[in-house]
Amino acid sequence: MPASHPDTGPHAAGDVRPRRLLTQNREMKAIGVWNWTLPAWAGRLADGRTYNTCPSAGICARVCYARNGTYLWPAVRARHQANLMFVLDDLPGWEAVMTAELGRRAAQGRWIRIHDSGDFFCDEYLAAWLRICHARPEVRFYCYTKEVDRFRRLVEPDPPANLFWVYSYGGTQDGALDPTVDRVADVFPDEAAISEAGWASQEASDLLAVLGPPLVGIPANRIPAFLRRLAGRRFSTWQAETQRGVHRRGRLPRPTPGTAAPAARRPTA
């Protein structure tokens, strides 16, 4: 697997693979959705390889729900990393197992959320998901993504009918989004701020992110340290402020209209 894993060299598959790829937490169970997850953002696997599953993450990485709480429990983290290792070490094998698992009766007519955390970190991985969507037309898939350029190139020209997505603000490609055309999600300080902006909250059901009105408001997680960092802003405004600062310091070229900004990989994103 390429680019997003600069330290990933040849590796023999032999790691412990999860028996089931799809899981369901309480929130997802309530709305009948199954979930596939990768570890969030950047890290190091047990074998020493480093990864970045969210190469276009921006300020979201500073307040990432999936880098907090239960996601950090060793067993949970190990499980998510095992998912990633399966993908990295044997993409065709992973695709076959995922396709088979989705063919079980329990998955028929269900919704699958692709990525509770993590993103479509390279073209090959996204292409594998597109093949899976085509292979399982009876299952519906949805996702949030900050991989705007990748979706513009690989998905938008001919999307599978059963794949629904929403672009989410807070990433280095925010400048490529057009809220008058694209379905977009933004994190707001609270529900009141969502209503005030005239956006629609997805709080009642995560599926509203792809089935509700196209301007999707998400109330920020009530984690005190994260709320302090957010400082009453929306992800989109915080990211724009950060991006302007980076441009001023001459670290990042300005994106040309209609194209995605280069995906800078930076810990403070």
Cα dist. 37→41, 87, 142, 247 in Å? 12, 11, 13, 33
Sole binder of ligand SF4 in the list 22, 112, 118, 151 (CB under 6 A):
118
- 64 is a contact residue toward ligand SF4 (CB under 6 A): yes
Tokens encoding 104: 């079980």
Q: Are strands 42-44 and 50-52 parallel, antiparallel or unpaired?
A: antiparallel
Task: Give me the least distance between CB of 105 and ligand SF4, in Å please.
Answer: 31
Query: Do 53 and 8 touch, CB atoms closer than 8 A?
Result: no
- 209 is a contact residue toward ligand SF4 (CB under 6 A): no
- 146 is a contact residue toward ligand SF4 (CB under 6 A): yes
Q: H or E element: which one contains 114?
A: strand 111-114
- 8 is a contact residue toward ligand SF4 (CB under 6 A): no
Q: Residues 6 or more apart from 72 whose CB is under 8 A from it?
A: none
Sole binder of ligand SF4 in the list 41, 121, 129, 165 (CB under 6 A):
41
Closer residue to ligand SF4 (CB): 89 or 147: 147
Task: Give me the least distance between CB of 248 and ligand SF4, in Å please.
Answer: 24
Task: Give me the least distance between CB of 66 and ligand SF4, in Å please.
Answer: 5
d(CA 24, CA 22): 7
Query: Do 186 and 174 touch, CB atoms closer than 8 A?
Result: no
163 bridge partner residues: 141
Residues binding ligand SF4: what is the number (CB under 6 A)? Answer: 12
d(CA 135, CA 187): 33
Stretch that binds ligand SF4, among 3-11, 82-90, 117-125, 245-253 (CB under 6 A): 117-125
Sole binder of ligand SF4 in the list 22, 45, 61, 176 (CB under 6 A):
61
Sole binder of ligand SF4 in the list 45, 66, 126, 177 (CB under 6 A):
66
The residues binding ligand SF4 (CB under 6 A) are 40-41, 54, 57, 60-61, 64, 66, 117-119, 146
